[in-house]
Chain A
Amino acid sequence: MRILVIGGGKMGASLAQSLINEGHDVTVIDRSDTVIQRSQDTMDAMFIKGSGVSVDTLREADAPHADIVIAATMGDEINMLSCLTAKRLGAQYAIARIRDPEYLSALPFLQKELSIDYAINPERATAREISRMLRFPYAGTVETFARGRVEMADFRAAEDDPVVGVPLREMYKKNKHLPQVLFCAVERGDEIIIPKGDFVIKAGDRVHVVSDVKTITQFFEALNKGASAIKSVMIMGGGRIGYYLANMLLGMKIKVSLIEINPERARRLSELLPGATIIQGDGTDQELLESEGLSDVHAFVPLSGRDEENLMAGFYAVQRGVKKVIVKSNRENYSALMHNMGLDSIISTKAVACNSILRTVRTRASRSTATVERMYRLMDGKAEALEFIADPGAPYTHVPLKNLNVHKDALIAVIVRDGQVQVPFGNDTIEAGDHVVAISRRTGISELGQIVHR
């Protein structure tokens, strides 16, 4: 598809690169010469200097023939106007990044009037992601499929876990009490492995498991990782994400204390969030953290604007024994390092926003064939978890799985039929209309037929 990305900053560049990797024709508009010169060396896209609100620039970038326009500049207004102009010029679908809370309540109205098809608020999406991770404290990240029936969660295998040191095919013979989940992917060092029956999990691996919600919960309880629900959260940094998150948590009746360094902002937050305890101070100050009760809270979420501060505060909280620590960091390339140092839950605004935009693009790209319902990227995009709806009449339906060729870098994780979740075995079949969740190391898959064939 022809995709026009307006704004080649952090998010725009990351999006453009992912879209190029998936084989789309990408054109990037940016106002800065330096951005263009740096990016065009590394990215196989067309770069056009100019502003996304200028009709001439949009025409030069061939916006009239674009299938999707994504406006990801720093300014909400520029994004909205660019989308409107591009759509009026003939673009098919417009996605805008709109982050100012002021626009939040009027968003449906704005979207309709400005013909923006999809508005993404990265901070709000991130806050929602964090709140979900807090509700499921046992796992590093939790992804849901099949309208929430299936969950995929990951945890780090510890030395004394019963899953360690046993080949997967003997797992449930040895551990009779363990609820049956599917081990779908394992991260080891820089590598991601789709495990087969003879695979043995080692301590330190990040293990992704998938199953229905109840079994997953039981599985983590059996592993003794199912800690009791989180009742109190300390947030460091009262920016947009902090505000959205505090608001969501308060709505869930969770006790929130929020540390903000800027006195004026702290005052404003206390107006906006009457239920929360707002503390004015430096969140990187360990004494302050201790005196405000860091050791007693169930979860600590550093969300300041500086990755380094967040990481340091996060490490400190892990060391002080806080049960759940979620760190915001935009540096994805360090995630392996952070996992090794005990920080399991890392979230990046950029990745959250990119993921949800990519999911939209994919759904549009594959509308005519079997659809990708949902897509998650694991380990900075080295593997993907995809949910498909099986196509009626596709060659892979009605055939027992053992007679099908599943791509060697892929795995069929679960099949959901009429609301029933099952981990498939050799004799099971895929039927038309089934929700199928697959894990693939090959990226850019847009239909189930690319993974399974006869």
Chain B
Amino acid sequence: MNYRLVFRLLGRLLMMEGALMCPSLLVAFLHHGGDAPAFIFTIALTLVCGALPGFLLHPKRDDLTARDGMAVAGLSWLLLSFFGALPFVFSGAIPHLHDALFESVSGFTTTGSTILRDIEGLPRGILFWRSFTHWIGGMGVLVFTLAVLPRLSGRTAHLARAESPGPTFSKLLPKMGDTAKMLYALYFALSLAECACLLLAGMNVYDALIHTFGTAGTGGFSNYNLSVAAFHSPLIEWIIACFMLLFGINFAIYFHALRREGGPILHSEEMWAYLGLVLLATGAITATILPRYPDFFTALRYGFFQTASVISTTGFSTTDFNIWPLFARCMLLLVMCTGACAGSTAGGFKISRVLLLVKSAYRDLEHTLLPRKVSVVRFEGKSVPESTLTQLGVYLFIYLCLFLAGGILLSFDAGDLTTSFTASLTCLSNVGPGLGQVGPAENFAFFSPVSKLILSLLMLAGRLEIYPVLILFSPTVWKKN
């Protein structure tokens, strides 16, 4: 590992985080919640800790290997989560470090699982920061850094690739810095649109911002115990549901729309599969829960909102789907497994991976019937290299291993199988609520400190798509080169 360069990069990232805490400090000042000192102290600490390696270390070489890039991604998310947890601890809002860390990781990874029993009692600056981490984590800190500090290092593609979700990472514009700027511009514009809609629907500015952050990052933290249900407004529910779906679509689609290129949008198999799945799940769920609600539109609203929330891995809720019929819960579990599109802010396994696996499974089945037939797997009009398919199989295997390991380790604390395995799945997919004791009306507070750390690791692994977190455990990475 090129230690000097890696630590310099990490230092710069920490300084960036310090700067990103300033809006929360402003909110804390405006609302006099007594949490301003915690922010001042954290910002000072973060800036100092970042400035020391960020300015004093001068790397001898500025080449970043693919391995180093991944390590930077893994380490930076660990560091960000740690420093992001400090305001919770210093303000006394979440006194234990392991709880604060869980909350911070859940924020940055846009999971939205919480250990808080009473959210509404927290100071408003703290709640703002908790949701703002969603917004930062959604598009990614490294991508943000690339957008504002373009000449960080010559070889920055690794960083973006390690952080951006999906089996492959494709640039929108030739320069990495320009691509990062374009992604953030789209992200910002969509967020602004949602915020405006929510304001028009009657939310106050603070609530609108909090819920925009939660939706844009596909996170799911709300400042109400009842989540979005607290507003008792069907209009707000429809707006948030639609934007959750929009943030689950690959941002390249919006880029093409902006450039008026219809072809790539029409041929985006992933987007159509995603929308089709949403339609299917919504239909099935609505039909199943119809008897429980007074009319069709109410059932449709609840069915659509929960589906959009889970498939986009956001995790807002308007009702306790824990008490729904089993089939409806199974449909939600299904979309929890798939997640949304690659290149979006959503987590999960990603629709494109599912599609590729389905196609390659079909091809291999066909191969047993027609052993001499040569066929390639095509995806979105292009043939897929065999190496990508192999990597995909391995990724699926590791993903399942983590899911199982998480479920088994959590069984010490959880009361039943549903709880332990859905808790593991919901964290790995960055959704938020699970079923059983971790359902949308419950929280994660009852887990032991060890389980909370395991869940935090699962969330990080899910957000960074496993490898950047996993390789930190390999001694090869830490060898000096």
* Contact present for B174 and A41 (CB under 8 Å): no
Q: Which residues of A contact B176 (CB under 8 A)?
A: 44
Known A33-B385, A49-B382; judge A42-B174 contact (CB<8 A): no
Q: Which residues of A contact B174 (CB under 8 A)?
A: 2, 25-27, 44-46
**Choice from A2, A44, A45, A49 contacting B156 with Cβ under 8 Å:** A44
* Contact present for B385 and A44 (CB under 8 Å): no
Contact code string A364-391 (vs B, CB < 8 Å = 1, else 0)? 0000000000000000000000000000
The answer for the CA separation of A44 and B146 in the assembled complex, in Å, is: 12
The answer for the CA separation of A297 and B236 in the assembled complex, in Å, is: 89
**Choice from A2, A26, A41, A49 contacting B157 with Cβ under 8 Å:** A41
**Choice from B157, B175, B382, B385 contacting A40 with Cβ under 8 Å:** B157
* Contact present for A44 and B175 (CB under 8 Å): yes
The answer for the CA separation of A44 and B158 in the assembled complex, in Å, is: 10
The answer for the CA separation of A40 and B178 in the assembled complex, in Å, is: 16
The answer for the CA separation of A42 and B66 in the assembled complex, in Å, is: 9
Known A25-B178, A33-B385, A49-B382; judge A44-B154 contact (CB<8 A): yes
Interface check B173, CB cutoff 8 A: yes
* Contact present for B157 and A44 (CB under 8 Å): yes
Q: Which residues of B contact A45 (CB under 8 A)?
A: 174-175
Chain B nearest Cβ from A23, distance in angstroms:
9
Contact code string B361-392 (vs A, CB < 8 Å = 1, else 0)? 00000000000000000000010010100000
Interface check B171, CB cutoff 8 A: yes
The answer for the CA separation of A414 and B174 in the assembled complex, in Å, is: 38
* Contact present for B382 and A46 (CB under 8 Å): no
Q: Which of A391-419 contact B (CB under 8 A)?
A: none
Chain B nearest Cβ from A19, distance in angstroms:
10
Q: Which residues of B contact A43 (CB under 8 A)?
A: 157
**Choice from B158, B175, B178, B385 contacting A41 with Cβ under 8 Å:** B158
Tell me the nearest residue of chain B to A39, going by C-beta: B157
Q: Which residues of A contact B117 (CB under 8 A)?
A: none
Q: Which residues of B contact A27 (CB under 8 A)?
A: 174
Contact code string A4-34 (vs B, CB < 8 Å = 1, else 0)? 0000000000000000000001110000010
Interface check B155, CB cutoff 8 A: yes
* Contact present for A25 and B157 (CB under 8 Å): no
* Contact present for B173 and A25 (CB under 8 Å): yes
Contact code string B163-179 (vs A, CB < 8 Å = 1, else 0)? 00000000101111110
Q: Which residues of A contact B154 (CB under 8 A)?
A: 44
Instruction: Pick from B156, B175, B178 the residue with the most CB of A within 10 Å.
Output: B175
Chain B nearest Cβ from A442, distance in angstroms:
14
Chain B nearest Cβ from A420, distance in angstroms:
42
Chain A nearest Cβ from B451, distance in angstroms:
38
Instruction: Pick from B66, B154, B158, B174 the residue with the most CB of A within 10 Å.
Output: B174
**Choice from A2, A26, A41 contacting B66 with Cβ under 8 Å:** A41
* Contact present for B155 and A46 (CB under 8 Å): no
* Contact present for A46 and B171 (CB under 8 Å): yes
* Contact present for A25 and B175 (CB under 8 Å): yes
The answer for the CA separation of A27 and B156 in the assembled complex, in Å, is: 16
Tell me the nearest residue of chain B to A46, going by C-beta: B174
The answer for the CA separation of A26 and B173 in the assembled complex, in Å, is: 9
Chain B nearest Cβ from A443, distance in angstroms:
14
Q: Which residues of B contact A2 (CB under 8 A)?
A: 174
The answer for the CA separation of A43 and B155 in the assembled complex, in Å, is: 7
Q: Which residues of B contact A42 (CB under 8 A)?
A: 155
The answer for the CA separation of A451 and B171 in the assembled complex, in Å, is: 34
Q: Which residues of A contact B158 (CB under 8 A)?
A: 41
Known A25-B178, A49-B382; judge A41-B171 contact (CB<8 A): no
Chain A nearest Cβ from B25, distance in angstroms:
35
The answer for the CA separation of A46 and B252 in the assembled complex, in Å, is: 14
The answer for the CA separation of A41 and B171 in the assembled complex, in Å, is: 12
Chain B nearest Cβ from A24, distance in angstroms:
8
Tell me the nearest residue of chain A to B177, going by C-beta: A44
Q: Which residues of A contact B385 (CB under 8 A)?
A: 33
The answer for the CA separation of A33 and B391 in the assembled complex, in Å, is: 15
The answer for the CA separation of A43 and B176 in the assembled complex, in Å, is: 10
Tell me the nearest residue of chain B to A41, going by C-beta: B66
Q: Which of A40-58 contact B (CB under 8 A)?
A: 40-46, 49
The answer for the CA separation of A26 and B178 in the assembled complex, in Å, is: 12
The answer for the CA separation of A2 and B154 in the assembled complex, in Å, is: 19
Q: Which residues of A contact B157 (CB under 8 A)?
A: 40-41, 43-44
Chain B nearest Cβ from A241, distance in angstroms:
33
Q: Which residues of B contact A41 (CB under 8 A)?
A: 66, 155, 157-158
Tell me the nearest residue of chain B to A50, going by C-beta: B382
The answer for the CA separation of A46 and B171 in the assembled complex, in Å, is: 6
Q: Which residues of A contact B156 (CB under 8 A)?
A: 44
The answer for the CA separation of A44 and B154 in the assembled complex, in Å, is: 8
Q: Which residues of B contact A46 (CB under 8 A)?
A: 171, 173-174
The answer for the CA separation of A43 and B157 in the assembled complex, in Å, is: 8
Chain B nearest Cβ from A64, distance in angstroms:
12
The answer for the CA separation of A9 and B157 in the assembled complex, in Å, is: 20
Chain B nearest Cβ from A189, distance in angstroms:
16
Q: Which of B173-216 contact A (CB under 8 A)?
A: 173-178
Chain B nearest Cβ from A125, distance in angstroms:
27
Chain A nearest Cβ from B260, distance in angstroms:
13
The answer for the CA separation of A42 and B161 in the assembled complex, in Å, is: 13
The answer for the CA separation of A384 and B36 in the assembled complex, in Å, is: 54
The answer for the CA separation of A228 and B154 in the assembled complex, in Å, is: 47
Chain A nearest Cβ from B196, distance in angstroms:
32
The answer for the CA separation of A42 and B62 in the assembled complex, in Å, is: 12
The answer for the CA separation of A40 and B156 in the assembled complex, in Å, is: 10
Chain B nearest Cβ from A32, distance in angstroms:
10
Chain B nearest Cβ from A132, distance in angstroms:
34
Tell me the nearest residue of chain A to B178, going by C-beta: A25
Chain A nearest Cβ from B175, distance in angstroms:
6
Chain B nearest Cβ from A153, distance in angstroms:
33
The answer for the CA separation of A42 and B387 in the assembled complex, in Å, is: 20
Chain B nearest Cβ from A25, distance in angstroms:
4
- A sample of 23 cross-chain residue pairs with beta-carbon separation below 8 angstroms, ordered by A number, consists of A25-B173, A25-B174, A25-B175, A25-B178, A26-B174, A33-B385, A33-B387, A40-B157, A41-B155, A41-B157, A41-B158, A42-B155, A43-B157, A44-B154, A44-B155, A44-B156, A44-B157, A44-B175, A44-B177, A45-B174, A45-B175, A46-B171, A46-B174
**Apart from A41-B155, A43-B157: 14 A-B pairs, beta carbons within 8 A:** A2-B174, A25-B175, A26-B174, A27-B174, A33-B385, A40-B157, A41-B157, A44-B156, A44-B175, A44-B176, A44-B177, A45-B175, A46-B171, A46-B173
The 5 closest A-B pairs by CB, nearest first: A25-B174, A46-B174, A33-B385, A46-B171, A44-B176
